[in-house]
Chain A
Amino acid sequence: DVILTQSPLSLPVTLGQPASISCRSSQSLVYNDGNTYLTWFQQRPGQSPRRLIYKVSNRDSGVPDRFSGSGSGTDFTLTISRVEAEDVGVYYCMQGTHWPPLTFGGGTKVEIK
């Protein structure tokens, strides 16, 4: 199974400041169709996960443009350009290239300082 390692585990951020979360894969996530199936989810406290970014860098409809995804191969990053209070929660990366099973990173908790 593909192992996704997220860092940091916890990310205290000042409102208005940027934040970055890393997701590293145990193997390349490039699929044989040329796509890279790396997804980012946000889970706010008490809510179900919500997809933010798919195929590395494609932002979902309704997701603020302060969220962006980047990376390739085995190294990926979710960046929040200016953190707002509503961004508090846990962020997960997920890979869908080598499945089954789909696998998730362990999560990064974003909190306000």
Chain B
Amino acid sequence: EMQLLESGGGLVQPGGSLRLSCATSGFTFNTCALTWLRQPLGKGLEWVSVISGGSDRTEYADSVKGRFTISRDNSKNTVYLQMNSLRVDDTAVYYCAADQTAPGTFFPDLWGQGILVTVSS
């Protein structure tokens, strides 16, 4: 069974940092693009970042560019999101998602259960 499990969320002050992790199982991790997305409570979905299977390509939403860094460890089947200079409007449930469409695509097809990040003083 394919699974993704996020961890590392919590409460942080504005300007602070957090690192999210997403441990996966049940699929071929090292050829699969992984995506982070977020959803403010009661609101819609926002794409945040994506990383290719070989880590040779990364992309970011303008809202997080320069503050967030996506990475992966193929030996641990885990993808990370380092979040720095956090702002109140970064508060959201963060999801990781795996591409299942086709080799070379970068879509969020299979989602984890999400982890809450709250940025507040």
- Check A100–B95 contact: CB distance below 8 A: no
How far is A94 from B59 in the complex, measured between Cα atoms in Å? 17
* Chain B neighbourhood of A102, CB < 8 A: 35, 47, 50, 106-108
Q: What's the nearest-Cβ distance from chain A to residue B116, in Å? A: 12
Q: How far is the CA of A64 from the CA of B63 in the complex (A)?
A: 36
Tell me if A92 and B107 are in contact (CB < 8 A).
no
Contact of A100 among B60, B109, B111, B113 (CB under 8 A): B60
Q: Is B46 an interface residue (CB 8 A)?
A: yes
Q: How large is the interface on B (under 10, 10 to 19, 20 to 34, 35 or more residues)?
A: 20 to 34
Q: Are B107 and A39 in contact (CB under 8 A)?
A: yes
Q: Chain A at the B interface: mostly helix, strand, loop or mixed? A: loop
CB within 8 Å of A: which residues of B? 35, 44-47, 50, 59-62, 95, 100-101, 105-114
On chain B, the residues within 8 Å of A48 by CB distance are 95, 111-114
Cβ contact of B106, chosen from A41, A96, A106, cutoff 8 A: A96
- The verdict on A67 contacting chain B, using a C-beta distance below 8 Å, is no
Q: Quick one: CB contact mask for A85-113 with B, threshold 8 Å, 1 for yes?
A: 00000001010100111111111000000
- Nearest CB in chain B: distance from A29 CB, A: 13
B105 touches which of A41, A96, A101 (Cβ 8 Å): A96
Q: Which of A41-93 contact B (CB under 8 A)?
A: 41, 47-51, 54-55, 92
Q: How far is the CA of A59 from the CA of B45 in the complex (A)?
A: 21
* Given A49-B45, A92-B44, A100-B110 contact (CB < 8 Å): no
Which of chain B's residues have a CB closer than 8 A to the CB of A106?
44
Residues B114 and A101 in contact, CB atoms below 8 Å apart: no
Closest 3 CB pairs of A and B: A102-B47, A100-B59, A48-B111
Closest A residue to B93 by beta carbon equals A48
Is the pair A54, B44 in contact by a Cβ cutoff of 8 Å?
A: no
Q: When chains A and B are docked, how far (Å) is the Cα of A71 from the Cα of B106? A: 22
Q: B111 — which chain A residues lie within 8 A by C-beta?
A: 48-50
